[in-house]
């Protein structure tokens, strides 16, 4: 059997992305991971807009391989009275994507916020800059900016002490930077206001962890028919970071979570986006064990690395240089890939801001050169693991 390489993809934020499709081609990727960021959450993705985006990508000699993401509206996550309206919009968007030949969709079910970091420019020893999640800074945001009720109960005494001590040293500009960083979510999305966040936290407190799990099952069952008819693979992204923050529940953080998700809606369309960085940030997570448990449902992979400290704070390390054993992950991923008719798409997730990109305006985590380095390292690792050129 002829060896199939993993499909090398690149996240692109559309025509306004500082990284061009020509840059992507020079980096060596062949597939594009993108979304229609100009469409408000919950609205239908028009067929014309999908075709236009696909044509732009294909004109550059690339392929639109994965949608990341078709956002799940908060009305669905909370199962509000108008959830069915947004579910129908979601089903229409999936059918429109399928009509254009785009069959792999990444999504997440994190309440309110997408990935959360407290600093976007942590300086590394080599002068490059990385994304950072610091429990001390998150506690400062929670206690002194958000001022969430009973927030103290979610932190141990050591973190509370250090957070209060550090807060006393911060000026208004530093506190504003922290506020912006935590509320940023993903690039190109509207910032969440504090009052909106407080209201959502109260709403999710009533729903609880089990309620959110039930709402995910509700969502998956509601789109199952369309996905099965159209041959669409849905891939849920792990929580990032993979533990509760700001009083919000998490349901896609651990091995047990993913086994539950797969077993409760045990249909082929219901898959996983295997993100080594998100899962690797969990203090108790064995990333390789999680992959081996769900590998038959892994339809997309994000490969990046993290380095954790004793508190569970972490920064995004070099792709081959953090706590995740990327050699073992790549070995397992390529072994699973060899069994597939279609190769598994992966992308070098995030990357350090480095070299010329240090002087450029870039989307946090998505500058060109750091990801180019990551893709080159991962491509070389694949060759080394498999022996196939």
User: 273 catalytic, yes or no?
Assistant: no
Task: Report which DSSP code applies to 143.
Answer: I
Which residue among 237, 240, 319, 357 is the active-site one? 237
Residue 106 known to be catalytic: no
> Would you call 366 a catalytic residue per the annotation?
yes
350 in active site: yes
Question: Which 3 state secondary structure label does DSSP give 139?
Answer: helix
Choice among 73, 319, 350, 352 that is catalytic: 350
Q: Tell me the Cα Rg of the chain.
A: 20
Active-site option among 227, 239, 302, 319 = 302
Q: How far is Cα 106 from Cα 91, in angstroms, rounded to an integer?
A: 14
The pair of structure tokens assigned to 50 is 């999908």
| Cβ-Cβ contacts under 8 Å for 68 (sequence gap 6 or more) | 11, 33, 34, 35, 105, 106, 273, 300
Q: Which residue out of 275, 299, 318, 352 is catalytically annotated? A: 275
**Annotated catalytic residue 227:** no
Active site residue: 239, 257, 349, 357, which one? Answer: 349
In angstroms, the CA 65 to CA 143 distance is 42
Contacts of residue 331, Cβ cutoff 8 Å, sequence gap at least 6: 385
CA distances from 187 to 265, 326, 337 (A): 31, 26, 31
318 is annotated as an active-site residue: no
Which residues are annotated as catalytic? 237, 275, 302, 349-350, 366
């Amino acid at each position: 059997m002829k060896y199939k390489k993993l499909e090398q993809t690149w996240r692109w934020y559309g025509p306004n992305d500082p990284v061009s499709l020509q840059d992507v081609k020079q980096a060596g990727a062949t597939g594009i991971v993108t979304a229609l960021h100009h469409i408000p959450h919950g609205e239908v993705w028009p067929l014309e807009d999908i075709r236009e985006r696909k044509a732009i990508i294909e004109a550059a000699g690339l392929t639109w391989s994965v949608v990341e993401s078709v956002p799940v509206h908060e009305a669905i996550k909370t199962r509000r009275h108008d959830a069915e309206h947004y579910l129908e919009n979601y089903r229409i968007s999936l059918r429109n994507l399928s009509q254009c030949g785009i069959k792999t969709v990444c999504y997440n079910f994190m309440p309110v916020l997408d990935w959360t970091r407290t600093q976007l420019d942590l300086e590394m020893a080599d002068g490059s800059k990385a994304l950072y999640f610091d429990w001390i800074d998150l506690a400062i945001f929670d206690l002194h900016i958000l001022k969430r009720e009973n927030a103290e109960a979610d932190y141990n005494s050591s973190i509370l002490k250090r957070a209060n001590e550090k807060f006393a040293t911060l000026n208004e500009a530093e506190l504003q930077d922290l506020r912006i960083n935590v509320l940023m979510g993903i690039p190109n999305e509207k910032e969440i206001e504090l009052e909106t966040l407080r209201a959502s936290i109260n709403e999710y407190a009533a729903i609880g962890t089990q309620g959110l799990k039930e709402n995910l099952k509700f969502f998956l069952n509601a789109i199952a028919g369309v996905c099965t008819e159209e041959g669409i693979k849905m891939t849920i992204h792990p929580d990032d970071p993979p533990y509760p923050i700001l009083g919000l529940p998490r349901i896609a953080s651990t091995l047990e979570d993913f086994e539950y998700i797969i077993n409760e809606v045990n249909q082929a369309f219901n898959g996983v986006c295997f993100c080594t960085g998100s899962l690797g940030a969990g203090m108790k997570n064995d990333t390789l064990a999680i992959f081996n448990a769900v590998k038959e449902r892994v339809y997309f992979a994000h490969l990046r690395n993290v380095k954790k400290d004793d508190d569970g704070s972490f920064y995004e390390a070099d792709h081959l240089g953090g706590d995740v054993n990327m050699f073992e992950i790549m070995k397992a991923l390529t072994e699973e890939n060899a069994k597939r008719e279609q190769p598994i798409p992966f992308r070098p997730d995030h990357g350090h801001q480095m070299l010329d990109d240090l002087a450029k305006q870039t989307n946090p985590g998505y500058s060109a050169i750091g990801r180019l380095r990551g893709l080159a390292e991962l491509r070389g690792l694949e060759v080394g693991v498999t022996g196939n050129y």
